[in-house]
Amino acid sequence: MFLPRVKDRLLLGSEAYFFTEHPAARGMPYGQTGRKATVFQLQDEEGQKRALKVFQAKYRTEENLEKTSDLLRYASMPGLATCERFVISKQQFPSLIQQNKDLNFSVLMPWVEGTTWQDIVLNKVPLDQESCYELASNLNMVLASMEAHGMAHCDLSGPNIILRPKDLNDDDEDLVSLIDLEEMYAPKLKRPKTVPAGSAGYAHASIQSGVWSADADRFAGSVLLANMLTWSDSSVVQAAFGEQYFAPSEMHLDCPRYQTLAGSLEKQWGKNTSELFSTAWHSKVLGDCPTFTDWADALAVEIPEVPLEPAVEPEAQPTEPVLTPVTGFTLPPRPNGPIVINTGSPVKGFKSLFPTTSPIPTNTTTPLPGWVEDTSPVPTHIPMPAPSTSKSKFKEIERLSKWHEAAQPGGKLADDKLPPSAQKAEKKPVEKTKTAFTTEKIAIYIIILLALCIIISIIASYS
């Protein structure tokens, strides 16, 4: 298990990162665990935040490495900033992985600021009507943009949607972002060995064996859009079942929660939206659900045209990397694991490992920080923001992708930073024992004796 400490340094080539402290748990690393991985917050020397996703042993596979270059071309699309990623592997960093095997195939990517939709539902945090429309229309825009390119998230759910705080003054950040993109569908992506079967409260009944197709998000997306649009209605907020609005056993049933949600939709947003949700709810297969273009027409949402980046061929990895240690950093062993908090971090299906008060208010009468109650009339149309012109929110990714330990000059780690295996194997030089006589000394003595004998013989011959 990967056990970092606050302010520990992680050195990847020439890039240095530091594990940050969780704002709600002093002395604990900012991390969050999910079904497959734990995500930690890192910060580089310039203060830029990054997310490090460390997978559980059975999910550390070559798939992450193989898919990385394919995902990069979608990073310019709205809501998909975490497609810009870098996979830490033993091909490039053999010494680091030898020291920390848990880091093999871990993913480094931009950190997305904000709160998950799951947090808002779980804590029953009410929103005003305009904020509901703004969130739903932005999610609609993200999903419709993906739909236009034949793409789908394939496990769309509350914990995989991050909402940017309104007080975050960063025009490059998307209001709605999707995370956990390892199993995303796109025409040129390779099918994963295990396809997702949806999350509780969002999964269509027909996909129990898994789904990986262009229409995979239609049902879950309709449920999310309906839920977001009605979250200003106190009857909807109070009716929510735990981490999501619907209980897993209620899917497709004409239950009270369905009646409450459909009725609130029609009352606030008109019959068109209510009919779209009803069509999805009573569908037999995913193809029967409304498209996100249908939702955009009903909500007057403009869908921007987003050209994809050209596909990039991955660089060849060294076939036989040199295992010479280079100047770097070994994460020290630690008896106690990281404490992770269930808020504001890009991971799905999380469970808190640390019992603490959530930073998100649990009082149902208190709005989420940043969401200001607005009594002005709800607009009939909100133009979607143009996609970010910044090609990269992960500035060092190119340097990381070109760095190979095998290509670096040989170096040494500091004595106290050697891997444990190397420390054990290291032997102290054996001191030579001192002896009274050596071969060289004996030879000298023989020569001296011979010389004395010769001298004595010469003297005797003259006498």
DSSP 25-57: EEEEE-EEE-SSEEEEEEEETTS-EEEEEEE-G
Position 16 scores a pLDDT of 95
- Residue 432 falls inside a structural domain: no
Residue that wins the pLDDT comparison between 79 and 411: 79
Report DSSP letters for 283-330, one per residue.
Answer: -SSGGGSPPHHHHHHHHT------PPPPP-PPPPPPSS------S---
Same domain membership, residue 316 and residue 280: no
Residue pLDDT, tens place only, 151-203:
999 999 999 999 988 766 666 678 999 999 999 999 989 999 889 999 999 99
Position 407 scores a pLDDT of 65
Distance set, CA 323 to CA 62, 81, 159, 316, 407 (Å): 20, 34, 40, 18, 11
**CA atoms of 105 and 54, how far apart (whole Å):** 8
Same domain membership, residue 219 and residue 134: yes
C-beta neighbour count of 433 within 10 angstroms:
5
How is residue 295 written in tokens?
């939702």
Residue pLDDT, tens place only, 10-31:
999 889 999 999 888 888 999 8
How is residue 303 written in tokens?
């869908």
With pLDDT > 90 as the criterion, what percentage of the chain qualifies? Answer: 53
Question: What's the structural domain count of the chain?
Answer: 2
Same domain membership, residue 107 and residue 10: yes
Same domain membership, residue 166 and residue 85: no
Same domain membership, residue 228 and residue 135: yes
How is residue 377 written in tokens?
């009339």
Confidence band of 316 (pLDDT split at 50, 70, 90): low
Position 352 scores a pLDDT of 36
Q: Is the pLDDT of residue 231 over 80?
A: yes
Position 391 scores a pLDDT of 53
**CA atoms of 78 and 176, how far apart (whole Å):** 8
Position 49 scores a pLDDT of 94
Position 459 scores a pLDDT of 80
Same domain membership, residue 88 and residue 170: no
Backbone angles phi, psi at 179, to 5 degrees: -125, 180
Longest CA span, the chain:
143
Residue pLDDT, tens place only, 105-118:
999 999 999 999 99
One-letter amino acid for residue 455 of the chain: I
- Residue 341 falls inside a structural domain: yes
Position 393 scores a pLDDT of 72
Q: Is the pLDDT of residue 322 over 50?
A: no
Residue pLDDT, tens place only, 415-430:
333 333 333 333 444 4
Distance set, CA 340 to CA 31, 50, 125, 362 (Å): 5, 16, 22, 19
How is residue 96 written in tokens?
């680091």
Distance set, CA 176 to CA 79, 111, 163, 232, 236 (Å): 6, 13, 5, 18, 21
Backbone angles phi, psi at 309, to 5 degrees: -70, 145
With pLDDT > 70 as the criterion, what percentage of the chain qualifies? Answer: 73
- Residue 363 falls inside a structural domain: yes
Residue pLDDT, tens place only, 294-311:
999 999 999 988 888 666
Range of the domain at 81: 1-111+310-356+389-419
Same domain membership, residue 90 and residue 237: no
**CA atoms of 265 and 279, how far apart (whole Å):** 13
- Rounded to an integer, the average pLDDT of 206-235 is 96
Report DSSP letters for 126-163, one per residue.
Answer: ---HHHHHHHHHHHHHHHHHHHHTT-B-SS--GGGEEE
Contacts of 156 (CB under 8 A, 6+ apart): 143, 178, 202, 216, 217, 220, 221, 224
**CA atoms of 157 and 223, how far apart (whole Å):** 9
Confidence band of 123 (pLDDT split at 50, 70, 90): very high
Cβ–Cβ < 8 Å for 330, 100: yes
- Rounded to an integer, the average pLDDT of 264-287 is 97
Position 438 scores a pLDDT of 60
- Residue 451 falls inside a structural domain: no
Position 395 scores a pLDDT of 86
**CA atoms of 245 and 250, how far apart (whole Å):** 10
Same domain membership, residue 273 and residue 124: yes
- Residue 78 falls inside a structural domain: yes
Side-chain half-sphere of 143: how many Cα atoms within 13 Å? 32
pTM for the whole structure: 0.73
Distance set, CA 101 to CA 59, 147, 376, 405, 416 (Å): 13, 38, 55, 16, 19
Position 312 scores a pLDDT of 55
Which one, of 30, 26, 73, lies nearest residue 51 by Cα? 30
- Residue 406 falls inside a structural domain: yes
Residue that wins the pLDDT comparison between 339 and 240: 240
**CA atoms of 91 and 321, how far apart (whole Å):** 7
Same domain membership, residue 346 and residue 207: no
Position 387 scores a pLDDT of 42
- Residue 158 falls inside a structural domain: yes
Please say whether the dihedral angle defined by the alpha carbons of residues 286, 150, 303 and 173, taken in this order, is positive or negative.
positive
Distance set, CA 50 to CA 53, 85, 231, 346, 363 (Å): 10, 10, 31, 11, 31
Residue pLDDT, tens place only, 446-462:
888 888 888 888 887 77
**CA atoms of 38 and 53, how far apart (whole Å):** 6
Residue that wins the pLDDT comparison between 264 and 455: 264
Same domain membership, residue 157 and residue 56: no
Task: Round the average pLDDT of the chain to a whole number and report it.
Answer: 79
Position 364 scores a pLDDT of 35
Residue pLDDT, tens place only, 65-90:
888 888 998 999 999 999 999 999 99
Q: Is the pLDDT of residue 431 over 60?
A: no
Q: In degrees to the nearest 10, what's the CA dihedral of 180, 185, 188, 193?
A: 80
Cβ–Cβ < 8 Å for 241, 257: yes
Cα of first residue to Cα of last residue in the chain, in angstroms, is 94
Backbone angles phi, psi at 5, to 5 degrees: -120, 160
Same domain membership, residue 133 and residue 40: no
Residue pLDDT, tens place only, 350-385:
333 333 333 333 333 334 444 444 444 444 444 444
Same domain membership, residue 152 and residue 66: no
**CA atoms of 235 and 158, how far apart (whole Å):** 19
- Residue 443 falls inside a structural domain: no
Position 441 scores a pLDDT of 72
